[in-house]
Structure 1
Amino acid sequence: MDVQPHERAEAGYAALRPGYTVEDEERWLPEHGKSVYRSSFERDRARLLHSSALRRLGAKTQVVSPDADDFARTRLTHSLEVAQVGRELGRMLGCDPDVVDAACLAHDLGHPPFGHNGEKVLDELMGASGGFEGNAQTLRLLTRLETKRFHDDGRSAGLNLTRASLDAAIKYPWRQHEAPLLADGTRGAKFGAYEDDLDVFAWIRRGVDGRRQSMEAQVMDAADDIAYSVHDVEDGIFSGQFQLRFLEVPLQRKRVIRVTREWYLPDTEEDRIEEAFDRLASIDRWVRESDGSRRSLAALKNMTSELIGRFCGAIYEATREAYGDRPLVRHEADLVIPRETHEEIAAMKGLSASYIMTSEQQRPVYQRQREVIESLIELLRDSGDRYLEPMFREDFQLAEGDAARSRAIADQVASLTDGAALEWYYALVRGEPFANRLFG
């Protein structure tokens, strides 16, 4: 359809794309005067690219500290890579590429300093006040903390993204008490919205039954898994923490399989995990050993490219086989991930978990990170709004009750980069100059 710029602005861009409706393009706070040259979804992506929350990811841990070396990925570079993978996979399936891109850029915004370790500590400390979850924090950032628009009553509308983009960014579309039950009967720890963000959560999910992710969210989720499964391995190999030839040593291989099963595939037999490693090791560009040379680094990059193509290709083919060639958008389809592909992605993640996350060298690092987060939360709870930045000080002052005040404090700590958290800790808790102290 040949649409003139003024017609696009008047009609609504989403309604002109197969599978999308005017409701998908709606914003929580209506905005007048549509862009003549950009779609609503393109504007969503631009708002995320220009956000301070995205910039801060450049100094937040992905797997290792951002200051550990110049090669390792940060949360920001990881998010950019996820966006590239997700955009292409989503486009091939008929999703609006800007919706998927925006969701991928947003998916880690809520992570606090020190990666998943910091998230775990904050969740423990916020247990009596609704917990802490990186994905729920992402929704909070997008709809409240990272401000671009305000409601008439003074409430923040956050970046005021479209319904489709916000829904695509919700990885776990349920409240804390609605989390799916695990195999042992306990409730999962992941959830997508805090109790005091339910008004916007309900608006986003209007008309959606149950806990299903939108198609765009499923693509984002898969792109996240694919990207960090291969890139964390690449980082680990380059930094000298392990080599793929280690898998040829029976004891090493057994340990990696055990960790993979414990962390990612609890319901999968070890024989199947071993077969997944066999399949991976049989690809043409599998790099048994890397010596850090330019040629070796190129080989490592080619391996990661082949693996990403392998995983995305298998998912695309399986999904197209199930649904045909029609555009697959919003809540009209589900991504199909073949079992073998799922196991291969988990095997790659298990490699990183075995040699990096569960490494004995990391234990004292994690403990010191815990001390920093715990000390900062204790200090801020004892000192009221004295040390809070202006935006969080205002939230603290307007808060009704201890739980709301604790949430404002958690928002402040979660916003800090790794370096800022250390600086606050040494300056405010220990009364010492920061002096570029690094974990290690």
Structure 2
Amino acid sequence: MAYTQTDRERWVAEDPAQKRADRDDFARDRARVVHSAALRRLAAKTQVLAPGHDDFVRNRLTHSLEVAQIGREFGAALGCSADVVDTACLAHDLGHPPFGHNGEAALDELARDIGGFEGNAQTLRILTRLEAKRSHPDGRPAGLNLTRASLDAATKYPWRRGDGPRATGKFGVYEQDLTVFEWFRAGAPAGVRCLEAQVMDWSDDVAYSVHDVEDAIASGWFDPRILWSAPDMAAVLEVAARTYAPDLTPDTLDAALERLLTSGAIPDSYDGSRRALAALKDMTSRLIGHFVGVVEDQTRRRHGPGALTRYGADLVIPDGTRAECAVLKAVANHFVMTTDERLAVMAEQREVVRGLFAAYAAEPEQRLDGDLLADYLSASTEAERTRVLVDQLAALTDLRALALHGRWVG
């Protein structure tokens, strides 16, 4: 299924004279995300550990670059546009606020009365409204004005809050942004993700499941020998079952752990030497190759050869492979994200978000960034003004949030 002219349409028509003949529409989409301020800000936003905690660990930007590297090659192997998948991967975390999912939870609580906060819905808002590139003829912002195919690929949860599957409370669009959502989803099956979005989502899962374990080992948060300790891993498997794969049986998760341990990919010790670092890098390469290779093979078995794009196919992810990925996620969760030390830090971070929200609300005209101040002053309802405050908080990096909180709140 080839990409059509409809797939290449933009929300706002652009002057053909500004388009280079040798440059593809989807390549232009990718370039717009690469040059965006929202992408740059990810360099100072938490992935698992806060930026500045360690020189080795990933931040949100390096994570996004790695997801894009995986997704670009994976998508191209299936016949997707590499640029569409690359764009979706680079954009997938743009909506994350300071302090990662912890900041997301705090903002969701603050925005409860206006439809909540969700990083994926905020990503769509950035791409189609907040990031400055194009405007409608009447002056309304159109964000980066990406093509229909790229916006659809970047939408991991194509539904409003409450409309998705019961298993997830996540959603991809706020009520205020339904107009553009309905435009790029025109003709798409309700609640169904395009193949490019599925490729982006699996690439994201693969990247952070593997890289978070690598970061945890290299930073000394986790000794890989623990993986061979049955009592310790029983707790990890409980996290995997509860948080990442509630639909899979304990036997499936047990078998996944056994396969990971006997694969030879995971080192059984780490001493910080260059040789040990090389072994960690080999682990990431082997596990990523395994996770992507199995899914590519199973998808081809179901759909056959030829280019697979948009709504012409679905990824096939075997339960066993998904279980392996879930176990790795649970390792980082149990040994890094939910330690007593981390939980104390996370509580402080949520207080920072709440304090900043109150500070912005108290003096919006003095404290909001210029572009968001214009949105605030033109808002016609209290809900719209509150959404602008949320937009401002979501845009902050970890470092700027802490600096402003120290200045305004103390």
Same fold (TM over 0.5): yes
TM-superposed deviation, 1:219: 0.1
Q: Tell me the amino acid that sits aligned with residue 139 of structure 2.
A: G
Please report how far the alpha carbon of residue 250 of structure 1 lies from its aligned counterpart in structure 2 after TM superposition.
Answer: 2.1
Distance 1:91 1:416 in 2: 34
Aligned ranges for residues 395-410 of structure 1 at < 5 Å?
395-410=375-390
Give the Cα separation in 2 of the matches to 1:403 and 1:154. 21
Q: How many Å separate the matches in 2 of 1:191 and 1:328?
A: 26
Q: Does 1:348 align with 2:328?
A: yes
2:203 equivalent in structure 1: 223
Equivalence for 1:54: 39
Q: Higher mean Cα deviation, 327-336 or 32-41?
A: 32-41
Q: How does 1:63-102 map to 2 (within 5 A)?
A: 63-102=48-87
Partner of 1:13: none
Q: Residue 267 of structure 2 aligns with which residue? A: 287
- The structural deviation recorded for 1:384 is 3.2
AA aligned opposite 1:143: T
Choose which of 180, 185, 189 in structure 2 pairs with 1:209.
Answer: 189
Identity %, equivalent residues:
53
- 2:347 corresponds, among 363, 367, 372, to 367
Question: Match for residue 258 of structure 1?
Answer: 238
Q: Distance in 1 between matches of 2:311 and 2:265?
A: 37
| Number of equivalenced pairs | 408
* Whole-Å separation in 2 of the counterparts to 1:357 and 1:263: 13
User: Residue 339 of structure 1 corresponds to which residue in structure 2?
Assistant: 319
Matches within 5 A, 1:12-161: 19-33=2-16, 34-161=19-146
| Superposition TM-score, scaled by structure 1 size | 0.92
Q: What code does the residue aligned with 1:134 have?
A: G
Residue 32 (structure 1) shift:
2.1
Helix, strand or coil at the partner of 2:221: coil
The amino acid that maps onto 2:89 is C
How far is the alpha carbon of 1:268 from its aligned partner? 2.0
Distance 2:203 2:27 in 1: 20
Q: Deviations over 1:367-407 (max 9, x none)?
A: 11011000011111222332101001001101111110010
Deviation track 1:95-148 (CA, whole Å, cap 9, x = no partner) reads: 000000000000000000000000000001100011000000000000000010
| Pairwise CA RMSD | 0.9
Query: In structure 2, what residue type is equivalent to 1:104?
Result: C
**What amino acid sits opposite 1:357 in the alignment?**
M
- For structure 2, the 5+ residue unaligned runs are none
- Residue 327 (structure 1) aligned to one of 307, 322, 325: 307
For each residue in 1:184-222, what CA deviation from the matched residue of structure 2 results, as whole angstroms up to 9, or x when unmatched? xxxx32000000000000001001121000100000000
Q: C-alpha displacement at 1:19, in angstroms?
A: 1.5
* 8 A Cα contact 2:265 2:287, kept in partner: no
Cα separation, 2, equivalents of 1:177 and 1:311: 31
Secondary structure in 1 matching 2:52: coil
TM-score (norm 2): 0.98
Structure 1 stretches lacking a partner, 5+ long = 1-17, 183-187, 431-440
Give the C-alpha shift of residue 179 in structure 1.
Answer: 2.1
User: What amino acid is the match of 1:231?
Assistant: H
Q: Using the TM superposition, give the Cα deviation of residue 285 of structure 1 relative to its aligned residue in structure 2, in angstroms.
A: 2.7
Look up the equivalent residue of 1:258 and give its one-letter code.
E
Task: Tell me by how many angstroms 1:284 deviates.
Answer: 2.5
Which secondary structure does the structure 1 equivalent of 2:196 belong to? helix
Q: Give structure 1 regions of 4+ aligned residues with deviation exceeding 6 angstroms.
A: none
Q: Which residue of 2 aligns with 1:166?
A: 151
User: Distance in 2 between the 1:350 and 1:395 partners?
Assistant: 41
Q: Within 1, Cα distance between the matches of 2:300 and 2:230?
A: 39
SS in 2 for 1:412: helix
